[in-house]
A = this chain, B = another copy of it.
Amino acid sequence: MKKYCFGVDVGGTTVKIGFLKTDGTMLDKWEIKTNTENAGELILEDICKALDEKLAEAEIGFEEIEGVGIGLPGPVLSDGTVLKCVNLGWGVFNVEEKMSQMFHGVKIKAGNDANVAALGENWKGGGKNYHDIVMITLGTGVGGGVIIDNKILTGYNGGAGEIGHMHMNDQETEVCGCGKKGCLEQYASATGVVRLAKRFMEKDKNTKMTELGDEITAKDVFDLAKEGDAGAEAVVCQMADYLGRAMSHIAAVVNPQAFIIGGGVSKAGQYLIDAVKSTYQKTCFSACSEAKVHLAELGNDAGMYGAAALVVGE
């Protein structure tokens, strides 16, 4: 194993780049802009330029680089082919081959960003003591990643871990971003929590949530629940019920050692974890009841660590 590697986390607005030792020590991290012009044709070039500049600055040759891992916002097959990265404007091509040609033939490994973040938490974050974890990211949407034997489970079309679109409710009338109705994301994401709160307020005004009105955020709901507002508590309870049931479904399929909960909504902390655990324990198969539930620890750095783990974990 060589001494250094890069972990790159490509988003629709910025690219996060981490320069690490292969033991996982983060030496430096910075961001560059994601240039999505002309179908994102310059994105890889911009990244390679940034990597070369870092190597020059650190006086390190590319032959000391074990590899570059890259997390991308879309499905990535196990051979490095991206199927569609809508946010980048990309079509179908093999990212690993193309980027390796642009970066001195260094080994490149690509993965889906949610999966890669899960791998990061598995390597250096909330899941570092486990080899089989499922990460659930509660942000604007709900993402997920399944790690088995410290490796990403990709699935046939790169769809494994897409638990935000697990169907949880036959009675839902509103449509999810995916086009279907009743997805976990509609209840457990930041926007989902707000939606549940607004629904609650339509029926019951006897809650401090009404003081915040349409501007209410998921954080507000959790803060009010912690203060003992019965309405906010009921909303958290509903949200945690959907999430806990989804986790029990997941456990019946892959039986992980631990669930790692991340994303903005997870800032609600142990209060959220306790609420979710309660439903999980009620609905999971007994053999899976020992699964731990932890908060993610790496925040926005998870993608860089996970991308690095793609090349180091081989």
Q: Which residues of A contact B (CB under 8 A)?
A: 75, 132, 134, 146, 148, 153-163, 165-167, 178-180, 182-183, 245-246, 248-257, 282-288, 290-291
CB-defined contacts of A282 to chain B, threshold 8 Å = 180
Cα distance, A91 to B156, chains bound together (Å): 38
Q: Is the CB of A257 within 8 A of B132?
A: no
**How far, in whole Å, are A212 and B211 apart by their CA atoms in the complex?**
61
| A161 surroundings in chain B (CB, below 8 A) | 252-253
Q: Is the beta-carbon distance between A253 and B163 smaller than 8 angstroms?
A: yes
Contact (Cβ within 8 A) A253 B255:
no
With A254-B153, A286-B179 as contacts: A249 and B167 at CB distance below 8 Å: yes
Cross-chain contact A255 with B287 (CB below 8 angstroms)? no
Q: Is the CB of A253 within 8 A of B160?
A: yes
* A287 pairs with B75, CB closer than 8 A: yes
Residues of the B chain whose Cβ atoms lie less than 8 Å from the Cβ of A167: 245, 248-249, 283-284
Interface centre among A160, A180, A252, A288 (most CB of B within 10 A): A252
- Asked if A132 and B155 sit within 8 Å, CB to CB, the answer is yes
Partner of A157, one of B156, B158, B249, B287: B287
A75, A157, A163, A253 pick with most chain B CB within 10 angstroms: A253
**New A-B pairs, 7, CB < 8 Å, besides A166-B252, A253-B253:** A132-B155, A146-B254, A155-B254, A162-B255, A163-B253, A167-B248, A167-B249
Residues of B within 8 A of A165 (CB): 252, 285-286
Nearest residue (CB) in B for A156 is B257
A287 to B288, CA, bound (A): 27
A166 adjacent to B291 (CB under 8 Å) = no
Tell me whether B253 and A285 are in contact (CB under 8 A). no
A153-B148, A249-B167 known; A159 and B285 CB under 8 Å? yes
Most chain B beta-carbon neighbours within 10 Å: one of A162, A163, A183? A162
Query: When chains A and B are docked, how far (Å) is the Cα of A252 from the Cα of B178?
Result: 13
State A291–B157 Cα separation when bound (angstroms).
10
- Bound-complex Cα distance A287 to B255 (A): 23
Is A159 touching B249 in the complex (CB atoms < 8 A)? no
Cα distance A75–B255 in the bound complex, in angstroms: 12
Residue of B whose beta carbon sits closest to that of A255? B155
CB-defined contacts of A283 to chain B, threshold 8 Å: 167, 180, 182
Shortest distance from the beta carbon of A252 to any chain B beta carbon, whole Å: 4
What chain B residues lie within 8 Å of A246 (beta carbons)? Answer: 249
- Residues in B with CB closer than 8 Å to A156 are 132, 255-257, 290-291
A154: which B residues are within 8 A, CB to CB? 255
- Taking a contact as CB atoms under 8 Å apart, the answer to whether A255 and B160 are in contact is yes
Structural contact, B252 and A158, CB atoms closer than 8 A? no
Q: Pick the contact of A166 from B159, B249, B257 — CB < 8 Å?
A: B249
A249 to chain B: which residues have CB within 8 Å? 166-167, 246, 249-250, 253
Tell me which of A134, A153, A183 has the highest count of chain B C-beta atoms within 10 A of its own C-beta: A153
Which single residue of chain B is at the shortest CB-CB distance from A283?
B167
User: Shortest beta-carbon distance, A281 to chain B, in Å?
Assistant: 10
